[in-house]
């Protein structure tokens, strides 16, 4: 509520009264689209090209559908559920492994000068590297920048049907990584149905040692905390592991940490640890019902 009042006061000298009310409410309660204004408009292909692309993709979609049916018929929950064993979810062994990830920086939208790429390292792992730069565009709007991200593309079923990962059998995230001593943010996206939940992301910090040695990070899902658009939320809750849409890493140039970075990822896996009984690691605070955004 206080956020809404401050927005209205700032807009009062520029907009008519009716437009002030509409604009403030839209920024607080309503999102026009999932990219929150960062959607890049791409050129539309011709009808002929659409038909050619559709026929080319049809074979792959039928192959994916057959694989879905096969997994459904052959899956055995008793065999899948193996306490203490790590099930690999993401690695870079397949030829098309890099195609399943998206790399973004502040420079993609003309807001900064950071650069990043994801490629295979000499050891056959995924290497997320580049340079973060906190210098930003002097346009009077952008205040802070200097970041780079990678995240998986939206998981889907055959014939372009969007889906989610179901990790409810597990309580641990396992990663084999080799870093440069920086801290990286692990991001689990749980894009909801309503617009207020489009930007829900659960985070936890990955501390890397630096040096030539690999490290195994074992992080309980109960440690992940909720944020939206970069703000940690007052109302926290445990992550719904059957609603995960994307997985990724972020790095930022905070507190003078501009410069090169490098994170080598061998695999990301899941594990069920019977000895871990914690459901959620953080205290729950009661807030007034009229507070909808913090």
* Of residues 149, 151, 66, the one with CA closest to residue 100: 151
Alpha-carbon distance 244 to 201, whole Å? 9
Please indicate, yes or no, if residue 54 is contained in any of the structural domains: no
pLDDT for residue 290: 66
Residue 288 lies in a domain: no
Both structure tokens of 74 = 């052959």
- Residue 55 phi/psi, 5-degree rounding, is -65, -35
pLDDT of residue 173 exceeding 90, the answer is yes
Q: Identify whether 190 is part of a domain.
A: yes
Give the span between the Cα atoms of 154 and 215, in whole angstroms: 28
**Domain of residue 119, residue span:** 81-271
Query: Structural domain tally of the chain?
Result: 1
Instruction: Determine the distance from the C-alpha atom of residue 102 to the mean position of all C-alpha atoms in its chain, rounded to a whole number.
Output: 10
Residues 32-78 have pLDDT tens digits of 666 666 666 767 888 888 888 888 888 888 888 888 888 777 666 55
User: Does residue 212 lie in a domain region?
Assistant: yes
CB-count exposure of residue 101 (10 Å: 0-12, 13-18, 19+): buried
Q: Hey, how many other C-beta atoms are within 10 angstroms of the C-beta on 224? A: 24
- What is the C-alpha to C-alpha distance for residues 142 and 150, in angstroms, rounded to an integer? 22
Q: How confident is the model at residue 193 (pLDDT cuts 50, 70, 90)?
A: confident
CATH for 216? 2.60.120.430
Rg, C-alpha atoms of the chain: 22
- CA-wise closest residue to 182 among 205, 202, 203: 205
pLDDT category, 27, cuts 50, 70, 90? very low
- Domain presence at residue 123: yes
293 in any annotated domain? no
Q: Give me 161's structure tokens.
A: 């049907």
Count other Cβ atoms within 10 Å, centred on residue 125: 20
Q: Sort residue 53 into left (φ over 0), alpha (ψ -120 to 50) or beta.
A: alpha
Confidence of residue 214 (pLDDT cuts 50, 70, 90): very high
């Amino acid at each position: 509520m206080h956020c809404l009042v401050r927005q209205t006061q700032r807009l009062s000298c520029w907009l008519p009264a009716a437009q002030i009310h509409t604009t403030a409410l839209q920024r607080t309660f309503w999102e026009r689209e999932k990219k929150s204004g960062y959607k890049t408009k791409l050129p539309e292909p011709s009808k002929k090209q659409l038909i050619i692309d559709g026929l080319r993709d049809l074979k792959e979609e039928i192959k994916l559908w057959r694989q879905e049916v096969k997994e459904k018929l052959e899956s055995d929950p008793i065999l899948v559920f193996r306490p203490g064993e790590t099930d690999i979810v993401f690695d870079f062994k397949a030829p098309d492994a890099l195609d399943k990830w998206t790399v973004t920086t502040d420079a993609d939208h003309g807001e900064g000068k950071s650069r990043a790429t994801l490629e295979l390292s000499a050891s056959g792992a995924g290497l997320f590297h580049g340079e973060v730069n906190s210098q930003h565009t002097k346009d009077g709007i952008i205040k802070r920048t200097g970041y780079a991200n990678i995240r998986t593309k939206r998981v889907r079923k055959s014939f372009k049907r969007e889906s989610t990962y179901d990790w409810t059998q597990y309580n641990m995230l396992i990663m084999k990584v080799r870093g440069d001593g920086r801290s990286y943010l692990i991001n689990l996206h749980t894009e909801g149905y309503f617009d207020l939940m489009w930007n829900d992301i659960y985070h936890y910090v990955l501390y890397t040692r630096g040096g030539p040695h690999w490290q195994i990070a074992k992080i309980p899902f109960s440690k992940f905390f909720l944020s939206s658009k970069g703000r940690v939320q007052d109302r926290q809750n445990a992550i719904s592991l059957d609603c995960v849409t994307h997985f990724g890493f972020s790095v930022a140039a905070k507190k003078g940490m501009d410069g090169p970075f490098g994170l080598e990822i061998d695999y990301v896996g899941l594990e069920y640890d019977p000895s871990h009984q914690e459901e959620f690691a953080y205290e729950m605070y009661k807030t007034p019902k009229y507070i909808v955004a913090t």
